[in-house]
Structure 1
Amino acid sequence: MNAIIAFLNTILWNYVLVYGLLAAGIYFSVRLGFLQIRHFPEFFRSVMRTPKQDNSGITPFQALCTSLASRVGTGNIAGVAVALYLGGAGAIFWMWIVAFVGMATAYAESTLAQLYKTRDADGQFRGGPAFYISKGLKAPWAAIIFSICLIIAFGLVFNAVQANAIADAMNGSFGISKIAVGVVIAILAGIVIFGGIRQIARVAELVVPFMAAIYLGVAIYVLIANIAEVPALIALIVKSAFGVEAAAGGIAGALMNGVKRGLFSNEAGMGSAPNIAASATPNPHHPSSQGFVQALGVFIDTILICTATAIMILLSHKLDPSSGLTGTLLTQEAMTVHIGWFGSYFISIAIFFFAFTSIIGNYAYAENAMIYLGAGKHFWLTLLRCGTLLMVIWGAYESILTVFDAADAAMGLMATINLIAITLLSGTVVKVTKDYFEQKKAGTPHFTLQNYPELSGKVDGEIWK
């Protein structure tokens, strides 16, 4: 069994997804006229507009914060350090490239999620890849596979991974026992997730901006304190990206490690963020506006937060492939250089917030998948919530590689299904986008379903009336 899972992961993650996600980003960038450049200000406007009062959905800002809660995790701290260790300074350049094209993919999948959303038994908006795969492509069997994979990966196993990272950090810095950390995390997470999507969104709205602002603030301080080194640092990143400067792995190492870390961190095209994007009430009343919001999420995750980690590591001069120092330890050593003895504790605290919000964000996605599978009754959701919390406690003190590998395989399969789906539905994305900007020239865009006869019977007419 282990050999089969390992083989699947090799095929999915080293070939299908790395190239597939990158190709999808380039494809949508071209088809949408590089909207991530031409219409970048619209990303911010879609978040900052006054939210519409609607009991069916959460606000666009809450949707952004909840998706960031899932996106921004231990990978933004430990993962970036590993990418730099294996690929050199040039890896961050390829992370930027991946984020640039990934913004178009994120826009496409979240626009589709908004378009095909529906209401659950409680009247709340629900949607995501399972819904547009089932309704848009008439492939409910693929939607079921997608949902099951999402529940396994995001609802259960990845939360154990995040809990393990928190427990390691708290144990290493403060000497707190791992099982105690796991229990505390489970209690805190339980308070949030038993309140449902709205409670998760409210907590994310408060915690995510706070943790991001503090982390980016420290990075800005480091930049200012080392401003004289910044021009040379930028030159090093660009030269290493193209193999001009000697670095670990050469150009191939920088390219592959930067691409992989960028893709895995921002999750563009994976089919995760659209699950919460569909829960938002967009302003204006048009599917595209929520697509812009989630494209901004990719920018914040990779261009801002991953870059912040990379800059702090590179300016510390602690990056040395021969030292064996990598992952969280490398980031902690770097922070110690910049802010003294508190640096190690700062990273441990950052890991706590980043990983904890990932747990509640991941659960939100899994709950959405349960709704699609028809398991939205309180009994089934309670079962999922209890399962999530048990995995948090278990993950805090256990580390069984086979289970984590199985989750990677599940995530790889769901991402592959989503990539195929959004590519097949790309014509709809292009038409909806064109409609948005044509209407914007004349005033405020408003989606009119009558202009899309091909969507008759596929889209909820009551929502988009």
Structure 2
Amino acid sequence: MEFLQTLFGWIGDFTWGWSLIPILVIFGIFITIATGFVQIEYFGRMFRVLSNKNNADDSNQISAREALLVSVGGRVGGGNIAGVAVAITLGGPGAVFWMWAIALVGMATSLVECSLAQLFKRKVGEHSYRGGPAAAIIHGLGKEYRWLAVIYAICLIAAFGLGFNAFQGNTVAGSMQDSFGIDRLWTGIALAAISGFIIFGGIHRIAKVSDVVVPIMAIGYLAMALIVILLNITSLPGVIYDIVTNAFGLQEAVGGGMGAAVAQGLRRGLFSNEAGLGSAPNVAATAEVRHPISQGITQSFSVFIDTIIICSCTAFVILLGDVYVPGAEGIDGVALTQQSMVSHLGTWVQYFLSGAILLFSFSSIIYNYYLGENAMTVLTKSPLGILGLRIAIIAIVFLGATAPAATAVFFFSDPMMGILALVNLLAIMMLFPVAMRLLRDFRRQLKAGVERPVLNPDDYADLDIDRDAWKLPAE
């Protein structure tokens, strides 16, 4: 076991320590420039997904909005509550600025990776699609690269399906015990039972649940944060000034100065919004849309919601209060966020925050499960494989909730996610010309006056796309 921990520790240092974050940042900037700042160009269009008229033509299909909410439910989690607090503690207020910066760059990366996942999706049954980076590798790069897709699938199952779900179960049970005194056993049983009911219903049930849970979760949390901001509105300009000046080393709030702010902001931002990590494209591929770029724009919006909106709210709650003391040893993580909220609104808020953590973690569990299920289909077509994965994940959620020390077994999660991200970025780089081709097609149709651009499969006859998934819509 010690050898494995050392090995995975080395992998984690190699990926997250010095190779992955610079690659994600540099490649994200390259995509932003090469696409002509596409995330800004189509920013107004992102909000169209919230309108029913721009969703699936067939009510049995997963709509663009449902796919958005599933991905938001996955991206929004502990990183938005605890991760932001850690970034501020270790990097100072300036870390928030660099979280914003990496989110703006990541919006372009997410648009490209999710558009590619859409293009190479496959139709499964009458009303479902599957796809993601693994499918894009196999059908976009060719079957000789299947080994790369297998590595991706194994890492996705290990990191998201198994490891992160154990941690989510642990987070929920710990919060329920601390705030309400509920024994971990009962939380574990309830969480496993509800998760089992939803994941055995497949992606359609997951999407329907997310369509309800995620708006409640996000709107409730944002409403509380907005109250805090309004109560301290006169202090907000000063907080924004501190964020900017600390970001560029004009003020130093913690040891390490600007370097700490950049490192923590980029790291926590990437962990939170997942742009370029290769997870969200699996959900993006399930949506029924007329053109791949449409879903790419939608998933770019998901990054904006996660970091620019929700993470910013957490940051303002912390920085507008007096619990956080720059450079001082003391509370951090979720405790810092919770105590900051309590200092603004009173002790009752800790119960509200526990409920928010419950919903955040629960939405992440069902999202993580689907990522694991999608990856399993790359490894085996046997229904027994999916059944085994479902049972394993329910057991792992229960184990993580009832035996918090057991989560230490999943030390491989972050290193596996690092490998996953490197494989995904390699695939994006190799398929980037195809993504640009899609983007030019989308722009050409808009310029010609087409309100909702449509992918014509005949224009992509040289690519291995599923003609059943890309039939021209009946007008």
TM-score between both structures, scaled by the size of structure 2: 0.94
* Equivalent position amino acid for 2:428 in 1: I
Structure 2, unaligned runs of 5 or more: none
Corresponding position of 2:153: 147
Shift of 1:46: 3.9
1:369 maps to which of 365, 375, 382: 375
1:289 aligns with 2:294: yes
Structure 2 match to 1:450: 458
Structure 1 range deviating more: 49-58 or 325-334? 49-58
Q: Take 1:244 and 1:301, find their aligned partners in 2: how far apart are those partners?
A: 28
What is aligned with 1:390? 395
Q: CA deviation at 1:361?
A: 0.8
Between stretches 303-312 and 41-50, larger displacement belongs to 41-50
Which of the residues 276, 281, 289 maps onto 1:269?
Answer: 276
In 2, Cα distance between equivalents of 1:347 and 1:208: 15
Aligned match for 1:179, one of 185, 203, 219: 185
- Contact 1:242 1:251 (C-alpha < 8 Å) held by counterparts: yes
- SS of aligned partner of 1:213: helix
Mapping for residues 52-451 of structure 1, pairs under 5 Å = 52-54=56-58, 57-121=61-125, 124-138=128-142, 139-248=145-254, 249-282=256-289, 285-320=290-325, 321-375=327-381, 377=383, 379-396=384-401, 397-400=403-406, 402-442=408-448, 443=450, 444-451=452-459
Cα offsets for 1:154-185 (capped at 9, x unmatched): 11110010111111111111111112211111
SS at match of 1:30: helix
Amino acid at match of 1:256: A
Structure 1 equivalent of residue 29 of structure 2: 26
> With structure 1 as the length reference, what TM-score do the two structures score?
0.96
2-structure distance, mates of 1:29, 1:57: 31
**In the alignment, is the contact (CA less than 8 A) between 1:331 and 1:347 conserved in 2?**
no
Deviation of 1:398 after TM superposition, in Å, equals 2.4
- Separation (CA, whole Å) in 2 of partners of 1:410 and 1:291: 25
The separation in 2 between residues aligned to 1:4 and 1:152, in whole angstroms, is 16
Q: Secondary structure at the match of 1:244?
A: coil
Distance 2:36 2:441 in 1: 14
The Cα shift of 1:391 comes to: 0.5
CA distance in structure 2 between the aligned counterparts of 1:300 and 1:376, rounded to whole angstroms: 37
Other structure's SS at 1:176 match: coil
Aligned residues: 460
Mapped partners of 2:295, 2:429: distance in 1: 19
Q: Aligned to 1:251, what secondary structure does the other structure show?
A: helix
SS of residue paired to 1:454: coil
Q: For residues 346 and 139 of structure 2, what CA distance do their matches in structure 1 show?
A: 55
Gapped regions of structure 1 (runs ≥ 5): none
1:120–1:371 Cα contact (<8 Å) kept = no
Contact 2:78 2:357 survives alignment (8 Å) = yes
